[in-house]
Copies of this chain bind each other. A is one copy, B any other.
């Protein structure tokens, strides 16, 4: 293994992070450090050598998750027609929401709202907020192009995002009901886009 003399082993740093992701997703923010250590195949002390505390581990791990998850939200193909673009946005949104890791990150952010506000804040900023902002920009551009008429693009983006997500996020977080199929996602995406366009047609 490529590692300098007595230097911290980077592979372990990663293994710990991966384990933390899994364990926190499964057990929630109350997961024990022992469990993380076991899963990472590492001793508890080693975790404390790499990250100083549980809070720090959670922080780093959520940063990484945020980056990983929001990467999917980065590609709004603004070149298509409005309907195609909106449906695409909806599809991605639903997929991210239903991804177990997306869900668990959200739950972490909610549960930890008081104990670790920076985490909640980071998740919200990088997730919903950034995503809506990008959509709002798209809507503004379409409005300038005369294909839509959104006097308040930010509000319109909120509306569209909400239509797509609705209670589905809550439901998934509470583990209620069956997961959405690909066909469900497709139907919702198309219908939401169509209705939205009707609501905001010039």
Residues of A whose CB lies within 8 Å of any CB of B are 28, 106-107, 109-111, 113-114, 117, 120-121, 123-124, 128-129, 132, 155, 158-159, 161-168, 170-171, 173-176, 188, 191-192, 195-196, 198-200
Contacts of A113 in B (CB 8 A): 107, 173-175
Complex CA distance for A198 and B150, rounded to whole angstroms? 13
B159 touches A166 (CB 8 A): yes
Tell me the smallest distance from the CB of A148 to a CB of chain B, in Å: 12
Q: How many copies does the complex hold?
A: 2
What's the least CB distance linking A121 to chain B, in Å? 6
- Please indicate the chain B residues that have their CB under 8 angstroms from the CB of A161 in the complex: 166-167
- How far is it, in angstroms, between the C-alpha of A195 and the C-alpha of B191 when the chains are bound? 15
> Given that A111-B111, A198-B199 are contacting pairs, would A120 and B158 also be in contact in the complex, using a CB cutoff of 8 Å?
no
For A174, give its contact among B124, B166, B167 (CB under 8 Å).
Answer: B124
Most chain B CB within 10 A, of A28, A171, A199, is at: A199
8 Å CB contact of A195 from B120, B176, B199: B199
